Structures are given as structure tokens and as C-alpha cells.
Structure 1
Amino acid sequence: MKKTLLITAGVLTTSAILLTETVNASAQKTINIGVLQVVQHGSLDAARNGFEKELTKEVKAYNSNWTVKYNYQNAQGDQANLQSMSSQIVKGKPDLILAIAKPSAQTIAKTTKSIPILTTAVTDLKRAGLVKDNNKPATNVSGTSDLTPVDKQLKLLSTLTKSEKPLGVIYNSSEENSTLQVDMAKKYAKEHHLKLKIVSVTSTNDIQSALNSIDGQIAGLYVPSDNLMASAMHTIGRVTQKAKLPVVTGSIEMAEDGGTATYGLNYQDLGKQTAKMAAQIILDHKDVKQMPVEQSDKLHLYVNKSNLKKSVLKPVTSRNLNLGGSQLC
């Protein structure tokens, strides 16, 4: 009897130790996330910040003892950096990778076919060769698209212009997402009998001369969202304000940096939406290959009041700018 009690006590002690080790292992769990960003500017930074804050919040809500560690790499626009940083991130065997903007996503997707990748600030993942279909990726990549409502943005620009001159468009012809938005602008203009005067650039050094080439010929300027245009918004804002031209941009952050207004998505919100997808993969064990690419579920009307006064000759009222959705000023 005594021997039996000793054996039972030993079994219970062993079980207690195993249970304690299991709890401790759970308490010490760290989720590792690799983050690759092509270049530093407002929109991409906002997407990353939104993602990190939301994912940390989601994980803490799931288990308050778990932590999230981010290995953040910024290529500063250098393709060689993207390749070396991609290799470094993959070698670390993270639980998931966030790729911010198309060059980052394309580079990291070539580096690993097994680690789940979510991308944000990419306009069309299928067109970028990242997924087989936006509704059913069938690759280790999915994420959120930053495709903007080009039709609403051009309509907004029309409300801000006074003359009957064409609407100007300046874009980066070497970025596929930018050419996609320009194609959409052309389609909208044709359907609504608008005239466009379009100039393209491939370098920030070309922007000043491109704007000079259409000086006095346009009533306002549309700037679609791409990395080059976003990084040059201070220059675009300075030139257009001097010419008293309203500027509608592809993103809110671009309007903040030098535009007049926009109707579009908030990149921090887009980052948060991407984080919710990440939580489904990490916490609910969803297969990224089966997760449809998502578009922004929030759109905002943003008006840069300071630039509005400098750029718009036509009287503007809130009724003029009411295109639906929430409003930020």
C-alpha cells in the first residue's frame, strides 16, 4: 500500500512538472515577424506602424504572456539591399513576413516559397506576379491592395478646378501600379468627356521639368500613388502652389505632404487590416494560399486646408467635396 502511494505521488509530481513546463513554454512564446520595406516615406511607414500595433494587440488579446518581435529591414530604394535583406530575413525563419510595396514583395517571394508572406501597399498582386488569382492566391503570398478609387479622385479634382483646361496627370511610368491607375484615369476621362494632359517620369530629377512642360496648360493635377511620386510630393506641392493649381493625390499621406485633397485610403488602417490577416494565419492557423487579397474597407475624404487656400481659386464648400465616406480635414 505504501509502495502504491509512493508511485502515485511520483506520477502526480511528474505530471505537475510537465504541466508547469507546458505553461512556462506558453508564457515564453515569442512570435517572430520579418518586415521588409522598399523605401522610407509616409504611406509605407504608416502601413508598417499600423500593422505592428494591431498585430501586437491581437496577439496580446489571444495570450497576454506572448510577445511579438519584429525584424525590420528598409532597403532605402536599393535593389541590392532588397535581395540581401530578403535572404537575411528568410534565414531567421520567421513565423510570417510582411512585405511593404511591390518591389519588397516580389523580392522576398522569390527567396522563400514556404514562409507565409503578407504584403501591403501593392496595387494588384496578380498583375505583380505574386498570386495566381486575387481571390485564391495558391501561393505563399496574400495581403491587402492599395488600389485607390481613381474615379472618385478625378471627380474630386474636377470640383476643385475653375478653368476648362485639361486635367494634368503626372506619374512614374516604370511602376506598374502607377500605370494601372493612369489606365483607370483614362477610362474615367473617356466615359465622362474629360480631357487629360499626361506626362510621365522615371526619376525625381525629371519631375520639375515635366511639370514645367505642362505649365499653364492644365486646370489641376492628379498624382497617382506610387513610391516615386510619394517621395517627391514636397517638390510637386511647391511648384503647383506657386501656379495656383489644385492637386489630388492617390493617398492621404501624399496630400498631407504637398497635395490639396484626396478621397482614398488611410495606410495605417490598411496596415491594421493586414495585421488581422496575419493574426488569422498565426493564431487560427489559416492557410495563406486560401486567403483572398483584400482591399481597404475604409475610405476617407481628406482636405489639406492649408494647401487648399494656396492652390484653389474656385470657392469650395463642404457640399462641393461631398463624395461620400468619412471626412478628415
Structure 2
Amino acid sequence: MKKYLVGLLTIAMTALILVGCSNNASASDKTLNVGILQIVPHGSLDAARKGFKSELNKEVKAHDKSIKINYNYQNAQGDQSNLNSMAQQLTQKKNDLILGIATPSAQALAKKTKTTPIVVTAVTNLKSAGLVKNDEKPATNVTGTKDLGPVDKQLKLLKSLTKNNKPIGVMYNSSEENSVLQVKMVKKYAKNHNLKLNIVSVTSTNDVASAVSGMADKVSGIYLPTDNLMASSMKTIGKKAQAAKLPVVTGSIEMAEDGGTATYGINYNDLGKQTAKMAYQILINKKKPQNMAVETSHTLRLYVNKNNAKALGIKPDKIQKP
């Protein structure tokens, strides 16, 4: 009888342990851990991050209200050593997925892990950045959205705002791969349309004001690609250009909001939301980044900074989509 009771007790305890394990597994399945690495704080990248979080929260909640998302957000403040150590931290922790915002962040993460799913946004060209084999089928643990805007249309827009035949000014950071790629596109467009350029490269925020002042009398307007340094310096650029009565067309809407005149381009909040939908497919539907095609922005919009346009003597309602 004792043996029988002991046997029953053993079975009961084993069952309780198994139930407990089952409950623990269930509880852990109800929490998603998402890391986020951002190279520097500025309007465009911040908007992408906020769009990503809001859309992912919405999508997951619609799927299952009981699922919680823990975000681990790291910002390198433009420092490469910070970026590398933060990438190390995020890849060592058991994140279900990591978001890399901008090319340097994406590259830092991709170097640290080949297994954790990575989605990226605000990257101009994933293939040239060494993140994927090709856009159609990445064949790596990385996929995401590109922020390459319609450079040709943006230059056409700028030309429509200029009032003389002086060259178009172009300012960018030569140490950013994404900017170098866009400037190559600018040069190609200029060659095909007999457009003269005055190209200036800066690598520090300390040089931005003097660079704008230096080109003020030599150009008819300024074009800025989607460049992290330029985006971080938009208020300075906007003030200097406005004082010189120069229209500024930017690579993104957020840059134009912060000091440009107009753009026909990407809204980074929308791009972040688009990236979140890809993350949802990985986290909930168990899709693999290796097989998920890289996406470009679904929407392009004309944005006019009315205050800036008026200060330059340009009627905002006269600015048309290129």
C-alpha cells in the first residue's frame, strides 16, 4: 500500500512539475524581446523608430492582446565605439529580433550575429553595405526597408525653385556610404541634364555653418541627400540658407521640416511602420529574413515648409510635385 501511495505521489508531483514548466513556457512565449540600435538622434531616424514601435505594437496587439513587447533601445550618439559595444550588448542578449536604424547601425549588428533576425531601416542600399546578397532574396539574417528617395525628382524640384543659372550646391558627408551613393546619382543626373554642380563635403557638425556660408554666393540652391550629418544639422543649414535666400531641397520630409524648403520624398515615420510589418512577419508568422525581399518606401509625398518658402519669397501653393 505504501509503495502504491508513493507511486501516486510521484506521478502527482511529476504532473505538477510538467504543468509548471508548461506554464513557464507559455508565459515566456507571451513576451517578445526586441532590441533597437540607432546611430544618432535626429528627426528622420527618431521618426523611423517611433513609427516602427507604434506599428509593431498595433500589429501584435491585433494578433494577441496578451503578448507584451520589451524594447531595449540603444543610441550611439554618433560615436563608433559606442555603436560597436551597443551592438555587442544587443546581440548577446536573447532578443527575438533586432532593429538597426541607419547603415552604420545595421552593419555593426550584422558583424556581431549571423543568427538573430535583424530588420533594418533608413539604409540606402543594403547590398552595397554588405548586409544582403541581393534585394530579392537576402540570403542572410538581415532584411528591411531602403530609404533611397527619387534623387532625380528632388533635383528637378530644386531647379524649379531657383531664380538664376548659378550651379546647384550639394552638401554631404563623404564618410557616409549612403551619401556617397546618392551623390553619384546626383552627378549622373547633372551630366544628363547639363546641370552645373558645386559639391561640398563636410565630416563634422562644426564645419556645416562655414560650408553653407562658403557656397552662399556661388549657388542658386542647395540639395541635401538623406545624410545623418546633414539631418542633424538642419536647423543650422536652414538659418544660413534662408539668410542667403537659397532654397533647400532635402532627401527626406523630416529634414525639410527642420529647416529645408521642400522635398518630394520619404516620410520616415511611414518607413518605420513598413519595417514593423516585416518584423511582425518574422516574430509572429516565423518568416525568415533570408527569404524576405528588401522593400522600398510604399509612399512618396510632396512636402513644403511654408514658413521657409515664404521667407524666400516663394508662394508655397505654387510649388508642384516634380
Shared fold (TM-score greater than 0.5)? Answer: yes
Indicate if the aligned counterparts of 2:38 and 2:76 stay in contact, CA closer than 8 A: yes
What secondary structure, in the 3-state scheme, does the structure 2 residue paired with 1:194 have? Answer: coil
Q: TM-score, normalised by structure 2?
A: 0.91
User: CA 1:174/1:23 → structure 2, altered by over 3 Å: closer, same or farther?
Assistant: closer
Distance across 1 between alignment mates of 2:25 and 2:194: 67
1:326 is aligned to: none
Q: Partner residue of 2:202?
A: 201
Q: Please, what TM-score do these two structures have when normalized by structure 1?
A: 0.89
Q: Provide the rounded CA distance (Å) in 2 between the counterparts of 1:19 and 1:179.
A: 56
2-structure distance, mates of 1:221, 1:208 = 13
Name the aligned partner's letter for residue 271 of structure 1.
G
More divergent stretch after superposition (288-297 vs 204-213): 204-213
- Measure, in 2, the Cα distance between the counterparts of 1:50 and 1:170: 28
Instruction: Specify the alignment match of 2:118 in structure 1.
Output: 117
Q: Does structure 2 retain, via aligned residues, the 8 Å contact 1:160–1:316? A: no
Question: In the alignment, residue 37 of structure 2 is paired with which amino acid?
Answer: L
The answer to whether the 8 Å contact 1:28/1:65 transfers is no
Any idea what the Cα deviations from partners look like across 1:30-85, whole Å, max 9, x if unmatched? Answer: 00001111111111110001001111111111111111110001111111111111
Aligned partner letter, 1:63: D
Q: In 2, distance between residues paired with 1:120 and 1:146?
A: 7
Q: Which residue of 1 aligns with 2:150?
A: 149
- Match runs of 1:80-95 below 5 Å: 80-95=81-96
Cα distance in 2 between the residues matched to 1:75 and 1:28: 30
Partner of 2:73, secondary structure, is: strand
AA paired with 1:207? V
> Where does residue 277 of structure 1 map in the other structure?
278
Q: Cα 1:309–1:117, aligned 2, differ >3 Å: closer, same or farther?
A: same
* 1:320 CA displacement: 4.2
2:252 match: 251
Aligned twin of 2:220: 219
- Identical aligned residues as a percent: 61
Deviation of 1:209 (Å): 2.4
How many equivalent pairs are there? Answer: 310
- Corresponding residue for residue 5 of structure 2: none
**Match of 1:321?**
320
What corresponds to 1:186 in structure 2? 187
In 2, Cα distance between the equivalents of 1:117 and 1:180? 23
Using the alignment, how far apart are the partners of 2:69 and 2:212 within structure 1?
A: 45
Shift of residue 176, structure 1, vs aligned partner: 1.1
| Distance verdict in 2 for CA 1:233–1:18, change over 3 Å | same
Q: Report the alpha carbon displacement of residue 163 of structure 1 after superposing the two structures with TM.
A: 0.9
State the AA in 1 paired with 2:228: N
CA–CA separation in structure 2 for the residues paired with 1:309 and 1:106: 41
Note the residue ranges of structure 1 that are not aligned, 5 or more in a row: 1-6, 324-329
Letter in 1 for 2:263: T
Unaligned runs of at least 5 residues, structure 2: 1-7
C-alpha separation in 2, matches of 1:108 and 1:229: 24
Query: What is the root-mean-square deviation of aligned Cα atoms in Å?
Result: 2.2
Instruction: Measure, in 1, the Cα distance between the counterparts of 2:94 and 2:20.
Output: 28
In the aligned structure 2, how far is the partner of 1:134 from the partner of 1:27?
33
The separation in 2 between residues aligned to 1:154 and 1:56, in whole angstroms, is 37
Which of structure 1's runs of 4+ aligned residues deviate more than 6 A? Answer: none
Question: What amino acid maps onto 1:154 in structure 2?
Answer: L
Cα 1:134–1:238 shift into 2, 3 Å: same
Give the partner amino acid of 1:226. D
- Please say if 1:57 is aligned against 2:55: no
Partners of 1:258 and 1:171 lie apart in 2 by 16
1:146 counterpart letter in structure 2: D
Which residue type is aligned with residue 276 of structure 1? K
Contact 1:26 1:65 in 2 (8 A): no
Give, in whole Å, the separation in 2 of the partners of 1:82 and 1:23: 34
Distance 1:157 1:64, change over 3 A: same
